Structure 1
């Protein structure tokens, strides 16, 4: 079940007058807190933070600003156990985060929004407590099987920094081998969080989203 908490404007880093705070209840009865900025359109891109992050980390805020400046609506939210959302933080939590994302998309569809893309970042690194259950979930995740299950109708785009020491660039190439619709863009010199390459990251994400919209028949957007 999903429901909005309020329609008051958020005093968040984006300073957008049209950004509204929303609470969505996931399948476990936990509240997921998000910020919705439709910028006058029903087309929405969902932004997902990385491990131990939140909807307000600078990378997600930068992407939100870049997309809305191009007239692309966004919804950014905290996964359960992170940020303002309810629930307990877990080390792996992939399946539950997929459930959270499903609840978000379902809510947006119910509100008549058209989800055009989902953009996510990493799973991060920081000090945390690891349970045996969550560790085994992570170790037993079959990425090859998960990759093979992605529909051929789903476009998959990866941006990766050549200087990423948390997740080697080779992993991105290996990942792409198992997804026929995968496209990889490498940003030279960028680290895991694109610390000195935020504009290149934003430009890449905006480019692929506007390109896909143009391919879908939006005549107001340039073809590449």
Structure 2
């Protein structure tokens, strides 16, 4: 695997820390973009493993940190779901200009929802894969439900997520509340693969059923039986990478 560190400027001029991972031996014909989970980063073990598995099957993967997260510049408190979608669009534009237009969009958790929204708008994207994605972006509110009143009253609040402090703004709450996954899926005409664990306690399996129900064919579902939300066991993340590569092969050369 050949790994290239990139600094990609988004439409606001903010540098997004990125890694483009290319298969070493095979000629790369397909480029994919990976959208990481809420408050995570491109270096989450599951993201790295999925990219590795896709690389082994000839798919190049660009993984990056959303604005204000990981090693990217900007303030997380000034971002929202829409800005995440725009980051994906900007990264796709960069790939198209500097390397090759991406054909596959992959997203984990809230990144999965963002992958659907962005994938619908990016012309070159021919297929979308989600991992533990919510059927409505506002689902993430349960992670900081005890601070919702403070956020609405003061405009923002400091909350602890995964043992780390994050400032959540009212703008973020308003933005995720205004999204409508069913409406987006009603006009999406791209193949979609939905992967989800029945044991996921962060984003329940019913979310996968709802996305599947909203989607038009071609649509596929893979159960990640026994996995947790973050795919902390390597066997699950490597499996997901291999399954995505196999699935997309019938839609993309």
Q: TM-score range by the shorter chain?
A: 0.7 to 0.9
Distance 1:28 1:112, change over 3 A: same
Task: Tell whether 2:214 aligns with 1:164.
Answer: no
Greater fraction of residues in helix: 2
Question: What CA RMSD, in Å, does the superposition of the two structures yield over aligned residues?
Answer: 2.0
Per the alignment, residue 119 of structure 1 pairs with 106
Please list, as runs of the form range in 1=range in 2, the aligned pairs for 1:19-168 lying within 5 A after superposition. 19-39=3-23, 40-90=27-77, 93-123=80-110, 126=161, 127-150=165-188, 152=189, 154-168=190-204
- Report the TM-score when normalising by structure 1: 0.80
* Distance in 2 (alpha carbons) for counterparts of 1:53 and 1:67: 20
Q: Give the number of aligned pairs.
A: 198
Distance 1:92 1:138, change over 3 A: farther
Secondary structure of 2:6's counterpart equals: strand
Question: Unpaired segments of 5 or more residues in structure 2?
Answer: 111-139, 144-160
- How far off its partner does 1:208 sit? 3.2
- How far off its partner does 1:105 sit? 0.6
Per the alignment, residue 195 of structure 1 pairs with 232
Distance 1:85 1:140, change over 3 A: same
Instruction: Pick one of 220, 242, 247 that aligns with 1:183.
Output: 220
Task: Tell whether 2:238 aligns with 1:210.
Answer: no
* Distance in 2 (alpha carbons) for counterparts of 1:211 and 1:185: 10
* Distance in 1 (alpha carbons) for counterparts of 2:100 and 2:210: 34
Q: Which is bigger in relative contact order (C-alpha 8 A, separation at least 6)?
A: 2
